[in-house]
Structure 1
Amino acid sequence: MRPLEDVRIIAIEQYGAGPFGSLHLADLGADVIKIEDPSSGGDVGRYVVPLQDGEDSLFFEAFNRNKRSISLDLSTSGGRRVFEDLVRNSDAVYSNLRGDVPSKLGITYDALKHLNPKIVCCSLSGFGMSGPRSAQPGYDYLLQGIAGWMDLTGEPSGPPTKSGLSVVDYSGGLVAAIALLSGLHAARRDGVGMDCDVSLFDTAISMLTYPAAWALNSDFVPERTHHSAHPSIVPFQAFPSEDGWLVVACAKEKFWARLADAIGRPELAVDARFNSFATRRANREELTDILEAAFRSDTTVSWIEKLTAAGVPCGPVNTVREALADPHTLARNMLVETEHPRFGTITQVATAARVGSLPPARGRAPARDEDGPEILRNLLGYPETRIRELRESGAFGEHSSAVSPAVIETGDANV
């Protein structure tokens, strides 16, 4: 068995942050049942372009492998009753809604513990379930600005800059997955479930780590650095070469000495201006000018070969396509293939969690409500008459037509 095959999670999730967290749990074997709102066409990720057709998109595929889907309108009495039966047969309710919504929707522990005393209710929202911003929607881009990340990113003379990836969303999803698993462990140990209140805001603030510690305990002012340099370790940054860029990381004194030898300037290692972390930081600009001139004299590939042979931590600044084709990417089996009825064979990146000897599961993302009949009949044991009554009452919505993405309000934590 895979590590989480005995775990069932009801996921009221959409877009990126929430689905990214539960993707890791699904790849590790958890039965993740996505509840998709039929009134909005389900998870908005289904309609993200490019490479989107109907209710399918490669964006949705990237976040929803190995999950099951059921269309359920929780605003109807019938939909609510089905949801409550799922709670009775599950370990966790996982959501990424606005911070004030779980209480209004009745998916907190207090609202569900009478159905299942061990249920774990994990909420991933933009700003959390308390505090002055709890009712505000949260998006990765907003959080990178509010939490100070953009002020630290980019060139000193340039504008505040967002990371090229939705790092707050993805980190928030991972923190939520950790919180959920911790809650499950405690619930199985103690027989009592709980709420897990995780937010993108808290995640982003917590990841300020050592710059926050410096700022909180001294007059240090975190700021953007030239060519993404480390704020205190020199040299530890990107350098332009003759034909591209490379990153050099001298996080130990021995690496600096090796680098000086590799560029043909061994005297720099013992130069009083550069012979320690402190002196190199004090003379950062002078040393950076020397190193930039050296690295511009040869190609990136040549420098990577020389520095690797010398034992200096380094690497090229790859394009996305180059990173995906890197021999180490392939050796680590970080590309996976799934078969899709509309797109054919899809290649995408694997999740990074590796637990035990079994490889992660490899199943495509579900069509909207693809698993509804099986869940109702086999998991919940509903007879056909019961299913028909629920359908006629609107519990499953109008499944026959998708909603245009133009009328869907997109974004994490904003349902």
Structure 2
Amino acid sequence: MKPLEDVRVVAVEQYGAGPFGSVHLADLGAEIIKIEDPRVGGDVGRYVPPYAEGEDSLFFEAFNRNKSSLSLDLATPAGRGVFEDLVKVSDAVYSNLRGDVPAKIKITYDDLKHLNPAIVCCSLTGFGMTGPRSKEPGYDYVLQALAGWMDLTGDPDGPPTKSGLSMVDYSGGFVAAISLLAGIHAARRDGVGMDCDVSLYDTAMGLLTYPAAWHLNAGFTPVRTRHSAHPSLVPFQAFEAKDGWFVVGCAKEKFWQRLTVVIDRPEWAADERFATFADRDRNRDVLIPLLEEIFVQRTVAEWVEPLQAAAVPTARINDVAAAMTEPHTIARNLLVETEHPRYGTVRQVASPVRVGSELPTYRRAPLRNEDADRILGELLGYDSTAVSDLQDRGAFG
């Protein structure tokens, strides 16, 4: 069996953060039943440009492989009835909605425990279900601004800058997946479920880690650094070579000593200006220009190869295309393929979550309502008359 093959999650999810959290569970074998609102055409992720046609998009494919889809209007009594029957046979209800919405549409533990005392209700919201911002919608860009991330990112003379990826959304999805699994574990042990109140705001704040600890305990004020330099380890940053950019990182004294040999400046290892972490940090304005003058004289390959041979942390700064063809990407089985009726073979990156030695299998993201017959008939035991009646009463839109 796959690691999570005995887990069933009813997912009232949409767009990015929520589906990103559950796709890793799906890859591990969990049954993720996506509830898609027929009034709005299902998950909005189906329509994200630029690679979108009809109800299919490559964006949706990246977040929803290995899942099932059921169109269900939770605002109707009939649709609500189907949802409640699903709760009875599931381990968790997972959602990513505005903070006040789970209570409003009655998908919290107190709303559902009479149906299934062990149900886990994991709500990933923008700002959480409590606090002054709980009713506000939360988006990655907004959270990067509020949590100080943008102030930390970019060159010193440039504007505050967001990450090139939606890191709050994606990290929030991972946090939600961990919370959901912990909740299911506890519910199976104790027979009692719970709410998991997870938020993007909490996630973004939690990821401030040591800069926050430095500030709270020592008054540290983070500043942006030139060429993505580490705030305290020198050198550890991007450098320009003759034909591109690469990163060199001396996170240990031995790496600095090895670097001085590769750049043909072995005397710098004992130079009182550069000998220790503290010396190099104090004299970074002297050292970095010296290194820049040296590195720009050769190509990236001419630096990366000898640095790697000397076991100094280094890497070419790839674009996305180069990252996809890195030999290590291929060796780690990080590119996967699925077959799609509109797109043909769809290639995408695999989940980084690994459990055991068996590689996951991959199935394309579902068409909207594709799994209705199986869910309603095989799982819930509805016959054709019952399904027809539910349809007439607007359960499925």
The question of 1:228 aligning with 2:224 is answered no
What one-letter code is carried by the residue in structure 1 that aligns with 2:3?
A: P
Structure 2: distance between partners of 1:11 and 1:69: 9
Cα deviation, residue 357, structure 1: 2.2
Cα deviation, residue 86, structure 1: 0.1
2:329 corresponding residue in structure 1: 329
Structure 1: distance between partners of 2:385 and 2:346: 39
1:413 corresponding residue in structure 2: none
The question of 1:285 aligning with 2:285 is answered yes
1:144 corresponding residue in structure 2: 144
Structure 2: distance between partners of 1:395 and 1:80: 8
Structure 1: distance between partners of 2:12 and 2:293: 54
Report the TM-score when normalising by structure 2: 0.99
Structure 2: distance between partners of 1:81 and 1:219: 55
RMSD: 0.6
Structure 1: distance between partners of 2:195 and 2:390: 29
Structure 2: distance between partners of 1:283 and 1:220: 19
Tell me the SS of whatever aligns to 2:368: coil
Query: Residues 122-133 of structure 1 correspond to what in structure 2 (within 5 A)?
Result: 122-133=122-133
Q: Which runs of 5+ in 1 are unaligned?
A: 398-415
Query: Residues 23-172 of structure 1 correspond to what in structure 2 (within 5 A)?
Result: 23-172=23-172
Structure 2: distance between partners of 1:182 and 1:262: 48
1:188 corresponding residue in structure 2: 188
Q: Percent identity?
A: 69
1:266 corresponding residue in structure 2: 266
Report the TM-score when normalising by structure 1: 0.95
Q: Matched residue pairs, number?
A: 397
The superposition leaves residues 139-167 of structure 1 with CA deviations (integer Å, 9 ceiling, x where unpaired) of 00000000000000000000000000000
Cα deviation, residue 220, structure 1: 1.3
What one-letter code is carried by the residue in structure 2 that aligns with 1:28?
A: L
What one-letter code is carried by the residue in structure 2 that aligns with 1:115?
A: L
Structure 1: distance between partners of 2:24 and 2:132: 31
1:201 corresponding residue in structure 2: 201
Structure 2: distance between partners of 1:311 and 1:35: 50
Cα deviation, residue 219, structure 1: 2.3
Cα deviation, residue 249, structure 1: 0.9
What one-letter code is carried by the residue in structure 1 that aligns with 2:53?
A: D
The question of 1:246 aligning with 2:246 is answered yes
The superposition leaves residues 327-368 of structure 1 with CA deviations (integer Å, 9 ceiling, x where unpaired) of 000000000000000100011000001101221121000000
1:404 corresponding residue in structure 2: none
Tell me the SS of whatever aligns to 1:81: helix
Query: Residues 336-355 of structure 1 correspond to what in structure 2 (within 5 A)?
Result: 336-355=336-355
- Which of structure 1's runs of 4+ aligned residues deviate more than 4 A? none
What one-letter code is carried by the residue in structure 2 that aligns with 1:343?
A: Y
The superposition leaves residues 80-139 of structure 1 with CA deviations (integer Å, 9 ceiling, x where unpaired) of 000000000100000000010000010000000000000000000000000000000000
Structure 2: distance between partners of 1:9 and 1:358: 22
Structure 1: distance between partners of 2:274 and 2:219: 25
Structure 1: distance between partners of 2:11 and 2:32: 6
Structure 2: distance between partners of 1:257 and 1:122: 50
What one-letter code is carried by the residue in structure 1 that aligns with 2:283?
A: N
Tell me the SS of whatever aligns to 2:363: coil
Does 58-67 or 213-222 show the bigger shift? 213-222
